[in-house]
Amino acid sequence: MNAPYFMPGLRKLRPHQERAIAGLRQSLSSEHKRPMLQMPTGSGKTLTSAHIVSGALAKGKRVAFCVPRKTLIDQTVHEFEREGISAIGVIQAAHLRTDSRQPIQVCSAQTLARRKRPDVDLVIVDEAHEMHNSVLSWIADCRAIPFIGLSATPWQRGLGKHYDDLLIPTTTRELIDAGYLSDFVAFAPSDPDLSGVSTKRGDYAQDELADAMDTADITGDIVAEWLKRGENRPTIAFCVNRRHAQHVCERFVEAGVAAEYIDAETPQGDDGEEPDPAGQTRRDMFARFRSGVTKILVSIDVLTTGFDADVRCIVDAQPTKSRIRFVQKIGRGLRTAEGKDKLVILDHAGNHLRLGRVTDIHQTHLDDGKKRDGSAKKERAEPLPKLCPECKVVLSYTARECSACGAQIIAITEVREAEGELVELGSRKSGARSIPAVDKEAFYAELKWIQRRKGHKSGWCWHKYQERFKGERPPKWFETLTPREPSISTQNWMKSRAIAFAKRSAA
């Protein structure tokens, strides 16, 4: 196949997307065949994929792009065509674009379970953390074909059995700081009592959870807080199950707010497809939402992926123990838009205090399904955020003043688990163990700033950190931190080390 399929008119890549493709080239040129590319929601996975596809086509290669849901089929085709890539066939039911002759095949994971696999040279798997059996069996059967996984949250247990290299070209915090994602403010006005809710398969039992959340007090608080803080922003509300979501939607409508309920059974509205009994389709709902006629879409998990509208407020009424579910939900509102100053998050589920802020959640390894010795916990050693006692905004553990209302935050002594031992935060004990983990994180980020400024080698930060904290090794995920200008204390410490070195050299 010759080069006419290569489209030089693709939009230019941003720096983090260039790093992603460079990392993939390096990974695939080594012993790796199954790299996993972690890219936050809104970082431009589809544009990055378009460049990968275009490069493969220029070499005469055929490519399959697998998606986990029907809704992503046409969205992917549209995005590729927007980049000038049109040699596309679709493998999904009786799709109008079915054409096995085309060098690019956009595939539904569900349809692949019942169809012959396309004959391709490269497979790209979108939302790879969902681990569809049809894709996993393809990986197992075709060891010679490279598979590239894409995910904002590649933390699913067992994912490392199928992919062999985790690439993290950027983080949510870095993209916010660079202006590629929207900043956010989170309020946690509700503290639901989940003491009676059991756990099944690693998360809350949904029926019991719905009973705990579907109460008049919590639902009333959801509506009242949105009226107070939602600022009439276009909003997605996430609920536990259909009954809970319908009740929340009804309360918003009763309060005079234009809200609509959507679930997995709401038809797409494609040509020839019948609307639901109420005459609704997703296409119509999304059109009303984008035009501002509808202010709130109330759903369960329907809008956690593949929904790219301008969302400026998220109501989270769905408690979870899953970092993947939590990060995917918040990601729906982090895209930038004209006139958008920030995303407002109204957390009625307690998820921020349970899991941390979306910018605090890190993992630098693929889980291979084996039991670990607690190293995963050690990777994420920073304390969980806290609440402003006045306005209930979610704050960094180190905050001493509320960024929303200006209230002074009084430091309190707390106990947290760090590296297998209990450490009293705020205590006067000496040594590295008594220093709050968030201060160690800040110190490492400042070291990275100095390293880049001075041109030191990559291991310099690691050695300086050990020198500062008496041989303690920094967590691996510290490498993803954004460099920050050194504080006065760090500058003074560096001067003291330079003086000590000069004295040793003169001796």
Task: Choose between 120 and 11: higher pLDDT.
Answer: 120
Residue 379's CB is within 10 A of a number of other CB atoms, namely 15
Please report the pLDDT score of residue 434 as a whole number.
52
Residue 4 has pLDDT above 50, yes or no: no
Per-residue pLDDT, averaged over 194-217, amounts to: 92
Q: What percent of the chain has pLDDT over 70?
A: 87
Residue 85's CB is within 10 A of a number of other CB atoms, namely 24
Q: Dig out the tokens for 423 from the structure.
A: 């450490």
Break the chain into its structural domains and give their ranges: 3-169, 177-361, 437-506
Does residue 50 contact residue 10 with C-beta atoms inside 8 Å? yes
Element (H, E) at 260: strand 259-261
- The pTM of the whole model exceeds 0.85: no
Confidence band of 116 (pLDDT split at 50, 70, 90): very high
Please report the pLDDT score of residue 271 as a whole number.
54
Nearest residue to 468 (alpha-carbon basis) of 460, 456, 479? 460
* Same fold: 3-169 with 177-361: yes
Can you tell me which residue has the tokens 């939302």? 127
Model pLDDT for residues 391-408, shown as the tens digit of each residue: 899 998 888 888 888 888
Residue 417 has pLDDT above 60, yes or no: no
Q: Was domain 177-361 assigned CATH 3.30.70.1400? A: no
Model pLDDT for residues 261-317, shown as the tens digit of each residue: 998 888 877 655 566 556 688 889 999 999 999 999 999 878 876 677 899 999 999
What phi and psi, each to the nearest 5 degrees, are found at residue 458? -60, -30
Q: Helices H, strands E: what count in the chain?
A: 16, 19
Residue 430 has pLDDT above 60, yes or no: no
Please report the pLDDT score of residue 378 as a whole number.
42
The CATH number fitting domain 3-169, selected from 1.10.8.60, 1.25.10.10, 3.40.50.300, 3.10.180.10 = 3.40.50.300
The one-letter amino acid code at 202 reads: G
What phi and psi, each to the nearest 5 degrees, are found at residue 386? -130, 170
Q: Give the span between the Cα atoms of 34 and 418, in whole angstroms.
A: 33
Does residue 163 contact residue 35 with C-beta atoms inside 8 Å? yes
Residue 491 has pLDDT above 80, yes or no: yes
What is the residue-averaged pLDDT of the chain? 86
Does residue 172 contact residue 358 with C-beta atoms inside 8 Å? yes
